Amino acid sequence: MILAAALLGASAMSAAAQSPLDGHGPDAWAVTGVAADDTLNLRAGPGTRYPRIAKLAPNARGIDMVVCVPTLTYQQYRALEAAGHKFAARWCLVRLGERLGWANAAYLAEDAGGPAALDAGIPTDGPEAALPGVVHDFMTRWINGDFYRDRGALRRYVTPDIADHLLADTGADNLLDGQDHDIRDLDVTWGEPPILRGRANLVAHYRNFGQAQRLEFGMARVPGSDRFAIIEIGGPFDE
């Protein structure tokens, strides 16, 4: 099972669309083609029909790219474009500091001369440092059945579409992938890499009926706050 959702209005993405997202292009981007007295709009979703929520300066650099639609790798998109395939405008979810939103990819170019966006090590302060505890709390509450009694509480941990999937009546546990569970030895660690382009990667290790398993979590900051939400869940995987 892989559950994924992009913040700011993107729909849930299929597992097949996930594989290229961490290697879809340059490490850092810059605004291009915007007049010196103008700005690049960041919108709440991939298109001009969504409201503007932030702006980038015409000389902004060191921009992190989270994902683009269509969900092709950077190399695939360029190859198809060179072969004459006509795409609708490509939009990318980008981050620069606290600003996060969708930008028209026509105004983004590789930041070849600027510093690359560095992947962070394990954070030791700030809200990111608390994320293993957040995932541990989420897992503990799920195992105890808290979210079936208080469904609104689940949305404080995950995006709405993931919450809807997890609580769907399928006759099975939609997180742990079974009709019953016996979870012991729960431990949450940082994934590899811990932070990539603003996304935090964490892993919950546990034993279910004695079998060592893990769930992999992707988390991202909720725009306009210090709170992080779970935007992707992969697994369970046997270890």
Is the pLDDT score of 61 beyond 70? yes
Rounded to the nearest 5 percent, the helix, strand and coil shares of the chain are: 20, 35, 45
Please give the average per-residue pLDDT across 68-74, as a whole number.
Answer: 71
Could you tell me which residues are beta bridge partners of residue 214?
A: 205, 237
Is the pLDDT score of 132 beyond 90? yes
Is the pLDDT score of 178 beyond 50? yes
Cα 130 to Cα 58: distance, rounded to the nearest angstrom: 35
Q: What is the pLDDT of residue 74?
A: 62
- DSSP H helix total and E strand total for the chain: 6, 12
Is the pLDDT score of 190 beyond 90? yes
> Whole-model pTM above 0.75?
no
Is the pLDDT score of 216 beyond 80? yes
Predicted confidence band at 73 (pLDDT cuts at 50, 70, 90)?
A: low
Cα 105 to Cα 64: distance, rounded to the nearest angstrom: 13
Least confident of 33-37, 69-73, 165-169, 189-193: 69-73
Does residue 218 contact residue 201 with C-beta atoms inside 8 Å? yes
The 3-class SS string of 27-91 reads CCEEECCCCCCCCEEEECCCCCCCCEEEEECCCCCCEEEEEEECCCCHHHHHHHHHCCCCCCCCE
The pLDDT mean for the chain works out to 80
Higher per-residue confidence, 115 vs 210: 210
Least confident of 2-6, 25-29, 163-167, 214-218: 2-6
Q: What is the pLDDT of residue 104?
A: 93
Q: Which residue segments constitute the domains of the chain, with CATH numbers given?
A: 2-110 (2.30.30.40), 127-238 (3.10.450.540)
Cα atoms in the Cβ-side hemisphere of radius 13 Å centred on 8: 29
Least confident of 18-32, 47-61, 98-112, 173-187: 18-32
Q: What is the pLDDT of residue 119?
A: 45
